[in-house]
């Protein structure tokens, strides 16, 4: 196993969401997630401290792309060479947020990008919450694992397994964070949710107080996930996308893959779980 993505210290730099009403969605992220919003041609670019989101015109709740930044040019070269060798046909991609970006397509048709982060504008203000992980919905978690782990060199952190042996959830990482890319078995494909890492419990409190001023209710949580051991809250944007704000996500240096039962308690050690399948 060659951990090319892990060696690249790749981190989730931004995602792109499609929307039938990009203006409304951008306004929501600007307010709720404390991001500056700029219209650039046909897209909206939303930026807060260490968090970025692109919104383009399209189908509600459809992932435009998920973009990972590599630590340097050498690591990006290795990612591209790996993608090429694995027959993924990496394609150059012009990105407003990254240099030397290339895209590949996963078995569900999700566009996944690797590149080098362009410098963020100075003076971005807001609560702590870097873009941290992307979670997909899929009919076939094993195929997703084969792609991200087997072909791109993400490392599997944990798996959730049903009593019949079927894998329900896979958590994979491309740096020391427990997961940067995960997937849930589902009756649909595309995005399940994306997450911002607030780091500490008290910052989640501050996010909740901020969301309350906007009359945005929590959809789930506060709770603590089993895999990753992270504290979480979830809210929903006007298109129906799930947004997670997390803290205390496990940092992995070296440990075996752990398997978890497919149970409410795995999803939330504290209370109600939302099982996707």
Which lies closer to Fe ion via its Cβ, residue 239 or residue 244? 244
Shortest Cβ distance from residue 237 to Fe ion (Å)?
A: 15
Q: Are 127 and 210 in contact (CB under 8 A)?
A: yes
CA–CA dist 275, 164 (Å, integer): 16
| SS3 (DSSP) at 146 | helix
Which lies closer to Fe ion via its Cβ, residue 237 or residue 244? 244
Shortest Cβ distance from residue 135 to Fe ion (Å)?
A: 5
Shortest Cβ distance from residue 122 to Fe ion (Å)?
A: 30
Shortest Cβ distance from residue 233 to Fe ion (Å)?
A: 11
Which lies closer to Fe ion via its Cβ, residue 50 or residue 195? 195
Question: Beta strands of the chain (E only): which ranges?
Answer: 11-19, 36-40, 43-48, 51-57, 63-69, 91-92, 98-105, 111-117, 131-138, 155-161, 167-173, 181-185, 190-199, 220-224, 231-236, 242-247, 258-261
Which lies closer to Fe ion via its Cβ, residue 131 or residue 195? 195
CA–CA dist 241, 63 (Å, integer): 10
| SS3 (DSSP) at 16 | strand
Nearest to 136 by CA among 12, 42, 6: 12
Read off the DSSP letter of residue 163.
T
Which chain residues interact with Fe ion by CB under 5 A? 195, 244
Which lies closer to Fe ion via its Cβ, residue 78 or residue 235? 235
Shortest Cβ distance from residue 148 to Fe ion (Å)?
A: 15
Shortest Cβ distance from residue 190 to Fe ion (Å)?
A: 15
Contacts of 65 (CB under 8 A, 6+ apart): 15, 16, 103, 110, 111, 112, 113
Nearest to 6 by CA among 55, 75, 67, 58: 75
Which lies closer to Fe ion via its Cβ, residue 169 or residue 195? 195
Which lies closer to Fe ion via its Cβ, residue 172 or residue 195? 195
- In terms of residues, how long is the chain? 277
Give first-to-last CA distance, the chain, whole Å: 30
Shortest Cβ distance from residue 77 to Fe ion (Å)?
A: 30
């Amino acid at each position: 196993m060659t951990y090319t993505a892990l060696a690249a210290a790749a981190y989730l730099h931004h995602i792109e969401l499609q929307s039938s009403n990009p203006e409304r969605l951008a306004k929501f992220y600007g307010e709720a997630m404390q991001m500056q919003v700029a219209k650039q041609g046909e897209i909206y670019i939303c930026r807060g401290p260490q968090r970025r989101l692109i919104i383009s015109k399209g189908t509600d709740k459809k992932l435009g792309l998920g973009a990972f930044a590599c630590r340097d040019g050498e690591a990006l070269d290795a990612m591209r060479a790996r993608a090429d060798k694995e027959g993924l046909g990496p394609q150059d991609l012009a990105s407003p947020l990254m240099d030397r970006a290339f895209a590949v397509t996963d078995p569900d048709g999700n566009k996944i990008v690797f590149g080098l982060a362009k410098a963020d504008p100075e003076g971005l203000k807001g609560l702590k919450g870097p873009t941290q992980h992307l979670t997909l919905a899929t009919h076939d978690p094993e195929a997703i694992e084969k792609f991200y782990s087997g072909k791109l060199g993400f490392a599997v952190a944990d798996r959730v397994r049903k009593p019949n042996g079927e894998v329900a959830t896979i958590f994979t990482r491309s740096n020391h964070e427990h997961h940067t890319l995960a997937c849930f078995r589902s009756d649909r494909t595309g995005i399940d949710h994306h997450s911002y890492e607030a780091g500490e419990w008290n910052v989640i409190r501050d996010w909740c107080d901020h969301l309350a001023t906007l009359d945005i209710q929590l959809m789930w949580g506060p709770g603590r996930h089993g895999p990753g051991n992270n504290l979480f809250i979830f809210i929903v944007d006007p298109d129906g996308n799930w947004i997670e704000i997390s803290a205390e996500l496990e940092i992995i240096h070296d440990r075996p893959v752990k398997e978890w039962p497919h149970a409410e308690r795995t999803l939330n050690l504290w209370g109600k779980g939302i099982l996707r399948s």
